[in-house]
Amino acid sequence: MKFLTLILRSLFRSRRRTVLTVASLAVSVFLIAMLQSLLGTMDALTTSAGSGTRFVVQDKASFTNVIPLAYANFLRQQPEIEQYTAFQWFGGEYQDPKNFFANFAVDPETYLNVYREEANLPSIPVEQVRDFLRDGNGCIVGQTLADRFGWKLGDVVPLRSPIFNLTVRLNIRIIFKGKRNSDETFLAFNIKQLQEAVPWMKGRVGAFTVRARNPADIPKLCERIDRHFANSAQETLSITENAFNLNMMKMLGDYSTMFHSISAAVLVAILIVTANTMAMAIRERTTQISTMRALGFTSGRILSLLMAEGLLLSLLGSGLGILMALGAADVAAKQGGALLPWLADFIITPETLLLCVLLTLGLGLLSTFIPAYRASRRPIIDGLRAL
Amino acid sequence: MADGDLSVRLRGLAKSYWRGPLEIPVLTGIDLDIVRGGYYALMGPSGSGKTTLLNLIAGIDRPSGGELEVCGFALNQLNDDQLAGWRSRYVGFIFQNYNLIPVLSAFENVELPLLLSDLGRAERRRRVLRALSLVNLTDRMDNYPRQLSGGQEQRVAIARAIVHDPELIVADEPTGALDASNAEEVMVLLEHLNQELGKTIVLVTHDPKAALHARTQIHLEKGVLDRTVEVHDRPRLTPILPAPA
């Protein structure tokens, strides 16, 4: 503690440089925290409350292809299957293509049961469920989505799909409150509308979501279903819902590698910035360090003092960056969630914060060690030049 | 003379530097005794090895050969950390350019050597204030080096050199960066430290006038001891330093 004054004063001897370095570190930590949290949020989208008991049966070649509705007959015969539902990505636009949100054509009755956790089925008033099932133009929307556009029960929502060249006018019959904000960011309506209006959709669906009675049965069910439809006109691919969601996310590109690459680049930048600052700060003090050693400071003590400076510099940058990231995460979840639905769940986890702190401290120590070690071992008379 | 009266004892001391495969001898066969409480001026032309000799005596450089005993310790036998500990207890340094730490106040600069001891905060403060009062700078203790004149900076450096009560004070051209008036003031101060506190002082100087303050002048020539001259007409100063606490 008695050296704290010396460490602090030395750290801020060039105030502008230190402040700029701390700011660079803070921005880097901010970027890493945001990127890693974004990655975590996107990965979390591939899992949901009931996903452990569900799997998806889709066309083997691509989930953008449709498969026969009649495949349901085989699913119905499997005793391990509790329920299944058919769905089709509609891709409808509301007023403007910029107002993107996920919307599906589904089988209303089975849909509510298969996704009962996400829709928080027990909390939906019975009359709303009844209206949704009775109204062929009815739809179900999440609370977050309804809030985004100011929708209320009974409102009419026109959706135009460029995929099917079709406009549907939907009556909002259920507004549900899900367990996660991102679960509330989609709309679903009766698939019969689509099958009746689009000739090539008659008797066809995009895929089935199947709910198994026991998660342990999923692998053998997938294998059995795919084997059954092997060598048919349209072979199937049965995969867990998480894997299916992951495939959907991968349409954005290999974001995981991209984010990790950017994080790595930022880390290298931190290393260079800190190493440069510490190298300059230490080189400028060659005489001072040699003087201290002449006065009796051992090489080890000099090394410790310089390392403490590097550590403190990293801690300051890391702390500031984390504060910035926490603030930005809050804004992203509140404001960004309206533009990108999945951002509604955006948070920075304690694990990400810990990762940022450990990475910055590690890099701070690493970048300080080499110049500090050299300075602490340099012959005293070289540093003093003359005594 | 008994060895116990000696502060420095050198026998056959040699120092060479290597430039690639080429050995450059700087000091050769130095035999020298420095008595405790003595005041010595190392003199000689540039390149004569006086600063190298001072560095060796102060334990911040290692000899290439010979015996080097300072304040009762054979410095050759100490490792780097032991040598650092030895310096912190037995040697006070005064540099030509003062070498104060710019981010520390005068008080904190003087306190620096004491941070290496086990002394508590109150005792450190007491000793720092006493050292600053010896150099008459108590009123400037909160000033930073940039706020002090050259003479004041050197006096702070002198306070730093004596705060831990070392036996030996080494000074390399302590007046080299000062004007005549401040230089004289510093030399008189060193003389008082020698006469009143009994410190052994070894200084390097080019200035014959400054060397007159020493009791013994040691002349080096091309790395060997040329001659030793006693300064007989050195006046006894009137004590000015406060009595030790």
Residue at B17 is within a domain: no
Residue at B71 is within a domain: no
Q: Stretch A60-79: mean pLDDT, rounded?
A: 90
Contact B134, B159 (CB under 8 A): yes
Those residues of chain B that have pLDDT short of 50 are none
Residue B221 forms contact with A (CB below 8 Å): no
Query: Counting every residue, how long is chain B?
Result: 245
Q: Name the least confident of A35-49, A157-171, A231-245, B226-240.
A: A35-49
Residue at B149 is within a domain: yes
Q: Which residues of B touch A12 (CB under 8 A)?
A: 103
For tokens 């302590």, the residue is B174
Q: In what order do the strands lie in the sheet with A102-106?
A: A156-161, A166-176, A138-142, A186-190, A102-106, A81-89, A207-212, A54-59, A236-240
Q: What are the tens digits of pLDDT across the range A133-143?
A: 999 999 999 98
Q: Tell me which of A97 and A4 has the higher pLDDT.
A: A4
Residue B118 forms contact with A (CB below 8 Å): no
What's the domain count of chain B?
Answer: 1
Nearest residue of chain B to residue A387 (CA atoms): B172
Q: Tell me which of B82 and A145 has the higher pLDDT.
A: B82
Interchain proximity A5–B101, CB inside 8 Å:
no
pLDDT over 80 (residue A333) = no
Domain range for B222: 37-62+79-230
The nearest CA of chain A is from the CA of B230 a distance in Å of: 24
What residues have CB less than 8 Å from B100, skipping those under 6 apart?
B106, B109, B145, B153, B156, B157, B160
Residue at B133 is within a domain: yes
Q: Tell me which of B1 and A155 has the higher pLDDT.
A: A155
In chain A, where the domains are located: 4-45+254-384, 66-233
Nearest residue of chain A to residue B61 (CA atoms): A381
Instruction: Label residue A386 by pLDDT band (50, 70, 90).
Output: very low
Residue at B223 is within a domain: yes
Q: Tell me which of A53 and B166 has the higher pLDDT.
A: B166
Q: What φ, ψ does residue A64 adopt, rounded to 5°? A: -85, -15
Q: Which residue of A4, A285, A293, A295 to mutate against B (max B Cβ within 10 Å)? A: A295
Nearest residue of chain A to residue B205 (CA atoms): A387
Q: What is the pLDDT of residue A290?
A: 95
Interchain proximity B88–A6, CB inside 8 Å:
no
- ipTM summary value: 0.92
Could you tell me which of A303, A316, A327 has the C-alpha nearest to residue A270? A316
Residue at B23 is within a domain: no
Q: Which residues of A touch B (CB under 8 A)?
A: 2-3, 5-6, 9-10, 12-13, 287-288, 291-301, 379-381, 384, 386-387
Q: What is the pLDDT of residue A172?
A: 95
For residue B18, list its beta bridge partners. Answer: B23
The nearest CA of chain B is from the CA of A387 a distance in Å of: 5
Mean of the per-residue pLDDT values of chain A: 86
Residue B95 forms contact with A (CB below 8 Å): yes
Residue B129 forms contact with A (CB below 8 Å): no
Q: Give the range with max mean pLDDT: A171-185, A244-258, A353-367, B147-161.
A: B147-161
CATH number for the domain harbouring residue B140: 3.40.50.300
Q: Stretch A5-18: mean pLDDT, rounded?
A: 90
What residues have CB less than 8 Å from A341, skipping those under 6 apart?
A101, A102, A144, A145, A182, A185, A186
Q: What is the pLDDT of residue B13?
A: 96
B49: alpha, beta or left, given left = phi > 0 and alpha = psi -120 to 50?
A: left
Q: How far apart are CA A317 and CA A26, in angstroms?
A: 4
Q: Report the percent of chain B where pLDDT is more than 70.
A: 93
Q: What is the pLDDT of residue A340?
A: 61
